Amino acid sequence: MRVGVIGGGQMGAGIAEVCARSGVDVTVVEASDERAERSRASIEKSLDRGVRSGKLSEDEKSAALDHLAVTATFEDLEGADAAIEAIVEDEQLKRDVFRRLDELLPDAKFLASNTSSVPIMKLGAETKHPGRVLGMHFFNPVPVLPLVELVTSIMTEPETVSEVRTFAENVLGKQCIDSQDRAGFVVNALLIPYLLSAIRMYESGFASKEDIDQGMVLGCAHPMGPLRLSDLIGLDTLLAVAESLHDEFRDPASVSPALLNRMVEAGLLGRKTGRGFYDYSK
């Protein structure tokens, strides 16, 4: 089986790595040669970490790299059996990708999106075959977290869901839960209001960021505090999902705090930019 991954950033690189480690031929498409090189380097670095930690042998790393191709040419996806879109949370850009995928891969078993906020029906509507379009929402870091949310629109065919579930569980070794095509799906509909509440608490001066995070780690047995988790997710992604939730449900709990808006405007997006609520530059 050969899978195309569109977007080689944090999520796309993780999805590609998991596919390659599972023996699936994967082609990652990026927007430029420079970004393609950066994506491949990111995957190689992650595989090296796996070797150092003893979770991966050198032979397994080499085998994974043999299954990996990274390109800046969209047409290199031609002939792929399936595709997973993992670009930035921009609805129009994602619509454009699905329109191109539908034309390039008329026989693909499924076209999936890793979106955490864009309705799957809107993406399916850009294609001639919306029945093979669904959401396949992975979680960061993809090689570590076992969950995949399967999100179906009113047009997604049962055969597509069955095909993707088998691929995710039997090939990639993930665990799936099902969600309706509603903003936030299952996990983010619960998680995002919690993270926004933590940001408001910090913004108001009620408590320090360290104490907020420490409180949830030590008091609620969370593996990571909400502000560090926001940095890991990416503050731009957090904002996009919050806006999607508010657009659909008009719940005051999903209104993004002013501090979050300003940080995104300033490019302080968390780990991926070296600074968010915490400084990662060192």
Beta-carbon count within 10 A of 99 CB: 15
The pair phi, psi for residue 211, each rounded to 5°, is -70, -35
Q: Judging by beta carbons within 10 Å of its beta carbon (0-12, 13-18, 19+), is residue 17 exposed, middle or buried? A: buried
The DSSP secondary-structure symbol of 168 reads I
Structural contact between residues 110 and 134, judged by C-beta atoms closer than 8 angstroms? yes
| Tokens matching residue 213 | 């995070």
Residues known to be catalytic: 116, 137, 149, 188
Start-to-end C-alpha separation, the chain: 40
Which stretch of DSSP H or E encloses residue 2?
strand 2-6
Look-up of token digits 């944090």: 10
Encoded amino acid at 145, one letter: L
d(CA 248, CA 151) in angstroms, rounded, equals: 16
Which stretch of DSSP H or E encloses residue 147?
strand 147-152
d(CA 153, CA 48) in angstroms, rounded, equals: 38
Q: Is 113 helix (H, G, I), strand (E, B) or coil?
A: strand
Encoded amino acid at 125, one letter: A
Q: Bridge-partner residues for 71, per DSSP?
A: 29
Structural contact between residues 76 and 90, judged by C-beta atoms closer than 8 angstroms? no
Q: Judging by beta carbons within 10 Å of its beta carbon (0-12, 13-18, 19+), is residue 54 exposed, middle or buried? A: exposed
